[in-house]
Structure 1
Amino acid sequence: MMPPEHLLVPAVARAGTILRECALQADETPELSTLADALRTAAARLAEPMRLAVAGQIKRGKSTLVNALLGEQVAVTGREELTFNVNELVHAASPTLTVHFRDGPARQVAPSMFARWTVRDEAHLADLVRVRKVEYGLPNPFLNDFHLVDTPGLGSVYGRDSANTLATMGVQDPGVLELLGRDPQTLHQESVDELDRADAVLYLFSRDVSNQDVAAVSAFLGDRAGMLTPFKAFGVLSRCDQSWPPVFGDPLAFHPLRDGASQVIDVYRGATDLSRLFYLVVPVAAKVAAGAQAMGEHHLGWLRELAAVPAAELAGELGDLREFQDAAGPLRPAYRKELVELLGAWGVHLACGALRDGLDPGDLAGHLVEESGVGGLRRLIGGHFGNRAGLIKLDQAMISVRAALASCREGLPPGSAAKTAADEVAKRIERFQRSEHGFAELTALAAHYQGATSLRPAEAEQLLQVTGEKGTSCAARLGFEDDEPVSRMMRRAKERAHQWNTRMNDPLTGRVDKQTAHTMVRSYERIMDRLQVAQRLLDPETC
């Protein structure tokens, strides 16, 4: 007997086949050419890495975070507001740069001109306002799994920059429209197009709660961002290192990510209903991580010299950067200044402390990346988003297809051949969604993240596990290491299916919890299907 289809063909592959077949079906009716294009685009996107957008108010450190995640200095950073256009960073065997214009075809330019097409420069403003997006290809490992989208920032004092990000995030602003001389319908369509291409979002907050941040989050929580759920969005509390040294307390004991960040996050939660949008809010010090990964041997030598200064004395000097730069002792003022510009005051303090405690200088960059929170953020992105990349992209593809179908069917006369053909495509898409268990898992996750369930901690952990938070193998979905015997995995899958079946049939279980329990039973049954196939393959008598 052949195993079920879901054991042989992954959902993304099945979806790609269905979407391409539906596109061919739509091609047979001239009125459905736009729908056919949308179906083919959705199918093609399933084969691409996830699109992870970095968004937020201006000067929240978005470009610095991009550099920290990539582990190299790619996006331009500085004291003034710099990023002008949406920049999409993608994987390529060698550096490439493509400029996509609003009013003409895309153009390949030299990669060395990246800053020329992305950084605010009044001398080139006429060219910059023509740019819709800049695509930069790099041989970077992070980009194997994610297309990283660096946005200019909401609420830019320059206006035009805000419009680029507003278009990316699906938020409209009539004042910006006036500056650009474009009508709301055009910007709305650009917003839909760009937002549809973003599979997941990292939204940066300031460590200092501002009215602008609260207003921007509220706009995010509005109906224009309804497709962004906690499943697809992280909040990032940026620049946490700037709270060091503390106004009160011991600078040697104060860790800005652990001490103080939680209070700021709680203030945001009190001002806005963050749980409606964000899976969680993670504190980071991206400057420390970006600088650590850009350090050269000469920087390590300077830090070793500084580590000879007593910890309390160095921390006192770092509390006033002018005093630190001009302080007597090891290291020239210019070198001290360069170190602070690279790592920030807390980063220098942290690095010297680690070297003072005997850390191998070769391990310093990795240590700083971890202490900065960026290492943990990478793992969260990989686990929460990366392990479920196929399902998230599949959900995004279905959202875009449903929108295209709604737009297409609206203008078709009842009973026409085109209407009949569009209805057939819609039925096939709907059948696929009903048959694909992953969509039920997405619904259960969304209910959990939004606080609609009353799961106990162990049950919530099982929900995250079985849906791929810790890995996509059967072992990881069951909470085991990958070398666990199949027999033990089968036993646990049966026990948990029974446990959730009992929960589902309990008359005291609420409607949402009952639906979640039903989904969990089905998830464990699917794992058992796979394990049965594995057992047959491992049984020598079946060879």
Structure 2
Amino acid sequence: MTPSTTAGAAGLIREALEVYGDDTQAAEALRGYARRLAEPLRIAIAGMVKAGKSTLLNAIIGEEIAPTDTGECTRIVTWYRHGHTPRITLHPVTGEPRNLPLKRVDGRLVFALDGVEAEEVERLDVEWPAPALQAMTLIDTPGIASVSQDVSARSIRFLTPEDSASEADAVIYLMRHMHASDLRFLESFRDTAAGRSGTVNAIAVLSRTDEVGAGRIDSLLSAGSIAERYSRDPNLRKLALGVVPVAGLLAQSARTLRQPDFEALQLLATLDRAARERMLLSADRFRRSGEPVALTEEARSSLLERYGLFGIRLAVVLIRNGYPEPTPLAHELARRSGLDPLLEVLDRQFQARAEALKARTVLVAVGNLLDSRPREGTQELAASLERVQANAHEFRELRLLAALRTAGVDLAPELAAEAERLIGGRGAAASLRLGMAPDSGPDVLAAEARRCLARWRRVAESPLTARSAVETCRVVIRSCEGVLADFAARDAQAQSA
């Protein structure tokens, strides 16, 4: 994100405040968007009921602070922000906010609504000193396509409001299978108006992947194949940057591995393979099993609740094959759950573009304000909005990425694929844009950027290139120039240090 684009978004808000300063509601909203520019990126976690949203949120944060049962709190939009002191604030639909007591049961945070019905709560705000929340604010939303229309409507209104920008800058959308309702939601979250590309602010997660193969040890391999097939589906490809398979329950438990869990898994690892396989045929069989004798029924139930049959199988195999300590085991379970790949995608697709996504939200908000509250004297504001949209290269990249993933461009398939990569379709980092190894040195990356720049200049100047594709070439050329400019700036900074 270039400083000029960030400044342009902030300047746009100031100009809008001059025009709408006498409109209390509009002015307050604009000041809120100004604050959003300085806040961490807002990422909502959405999906159907029982898709595993809260469980995945706990895994990302690394603590069990989001309720995963089917209680009242799962019907409320809940914000998780970084705070130095743990605090839960209830914001009612009417009335003043108030703090809720902090309660933990078996290590899990429990929300006590103090007699307030879920329908009376606008949102819950949870401040928590988790390192993961320093870079992003996570928003847990009620299930879409819920049996309760009110619950579904709450999520839809929050994520895709009719007359304002979404409260979320980006979304992680969980699905167990690809249904028409999943596509409908992602379609509604994407904003196709000029200068606004939603294709870069949605990632799909194939959730609860440990259940794909009925808990078999190779379940994640099967889920990976399904996710790869979904990611190539033209209907989904235009709506999300990719599909990542994640076993959320295993990811959550790996990130919150407890010593009693590890000791119970160690006991199971002492059994021979045949005995283990017999007892792990079903949850009931495992719970009733008498082996090993030292493993209590309470411990068995806890393992099933926290890891499931798949997680128990995998953990025991890992312990027997070189992971005899809790910390290395937890890291390997998290990696195998699919959480690490998801965190990498979040980093390269969302965090690397955080400023651009937040600025995009500001542009959407000002555009909606002009449409919904027209008045005299807004011509200059509309012109400023158009100017920021047109001049910021980040937004040109977003528009081209949308075009490449929907209607396509008039280029050979291999050139179109390279264009998508160079404008950041796989991530905004230079190595990802250039298709190079992450540990490639700056000289190697700069040389490849120069080669790409020369090639795309030739494509742009070729008489065989269709006129409609020339603008695509210009955007790609500017992206290559941007990569080289970044390297030059780093060199200059290093020399002056």
TM > 0.5 between the two? yes
The one of 298, 301, 313 equivalent to 2:263 is 301
User: Which consecutive unaligned segments of at least 5 residues does structure 1 have?
Assistant: 1-5, 171-189, 413-418
In the TM superposition, what are the counterparts of 1:24-39 in structure 2 within 5 Å? 25-26=18-19, 30=22, 35-39=26-30
Relative distance call for 1:489 and 1:322 in structure 2 (3 A) is closer
Mean Cα deviation higher: 143-152 or 100-109: 100-109
Q: What amino acid is the match of 1:371?
A: R
Q: Select the structure with the greater relative contact order (CA < 8 A; seq sep ≥ 6).
A: 2
Q: How far apart, in 2, do the equivalents of 1:337 and 1:387 lie?
A: 41
State yes or no: 1:162 paired with 2:120.
no
Q: What amino acid is the match of 2:153?
A: A
Find the counterpart in structure 2 of residue 313 from structure 1: 275
State yes or no: 1:367 paired with 2:332.
yes
Find the counterpart in structure 2 of residue 214 from structure 1: 180
Larger Rg: 1
Contact 1:235 1:282 in 2 (8 A): yes
Note the C-alpha offset of 1:367. 0.7
In the TM superposition, what are the counterparts of 1:427-442 in structure 2 within 5 Å? 427-442=383-398
In the TM superposition, what are the counterparts of 1:101-180 in structure 2 within 5 Å? 101-112=92-103, 115-116=110-111, 124=115, 127-170=117-160
Relative distance call for 1:391 and 1:464 in structure 2 (3 A) is farther
The one of 248, 255, 264 equivalent to 2:218 is 255
The one of 421, 424, 442 equivalent to 1:467 is 424
Mean Cα deviation higher: 373-382 or 77-86: 77-86
Contact 1:59 1:81 in 2 (8 A): no
Find the counterpart in structure 1 of residue 365 from structure 2: 400
Note the C-alpha offset of 1:150. 0.6
What's the Cα RMSD here?
A: 3.2
Contact 1:166 1:191 in 2 (8 A): no
Deviation readout 1:272-306 (Å, 9 max, x if unpaired) = 92223122222111001111222211211111110
Find the counterpart in structure 2 of residue 286 from structure 1: 248
Note the C-alpha offset of 1:447. 2.4
Contact 1:387 1:469 in 2 (8 A): no
Note the C-alpha offset of 1:137. 0.7
Deviation readout 1:223-280 (Å, 9 max, x if unpaired) = 886577331111111111123447xxxx4xx52121155347747987x922231222
Find the counterpart in structure 2 of residue 98 from structure 1: 89
Contact 2:81 2:137 in 1 (8 A): yes
User: How many pairs are equivalent?
Assistant: 485
State yes or no: 1:231 paired with 2:200.
yes
Relative distance call for 1:268 and 1:499 in structure 2 (3 A) is closer
Q: How far apart, in 1, do the equivalents of 2:360 and 2:156 lie?
A: 23
- How high is the sequence identity, in percent, across the aligned residues? 28
Find the counterpart in structure 2 of residue 336 from structure 1: 300
Note the C-alpha offset of 1:95. 0.8
Note the C-alpha offset of 1:165. 1.3
Q: Match of 1:51, SS? A: strand
User: Which consecutive unaligned segments of at least 5 residues does structure 2 have?
Assistant: none
Relative distance call for 1:52 and 1:162 in structure 2 (3 A) is same
Q: What amino acid is the match of 2:424?
A: T
In the TM superposition, what are the counterparts of 1:48-87 in structure 2 within 5 Å? 48-78=39-69, 83-87=74-78
Q: How far apart, in 1, do the equivalents of 2:186 and 2:336 lie?
A: 30
Q: How far apart, in 2, do the equivalents of 1:98 and 1:79 lie?
A: 21
Contact 2:73 2:118 in 1 (8 A): no
Q: Match of 1:309, SS? A: coil
The one of 330, 347, 352 equivalent to 1:387 is 352
Q: Match of 1:202, SS? A: strand
Q: How far apart, in 1, do the equivalents of 2:98 and 2:253 lie?
A: 32
Relative distance call for 1:268 and 1:156 in structure 2 (3 A) is farther
Q: How far apart, in 2, do the equivalents of 1:511 and 1:258 lie?
A: 44
Q: Match of 1:133, SS? A: strand
Q: Match of 2:79, SS? A: strand
Q: Match of 1:196, SS? A: coil
Q: How far apart, in 2, do the equivalents of 1:405 and 1:69 lie?
A: 37
Q: How far apart, in 1, do the equivalents of 2:474 and 2:446 lie?
A: 19
Q: Match of 1:60, SS? A: coil
Contact 1:306 1:352 in 2 (8 A): yes
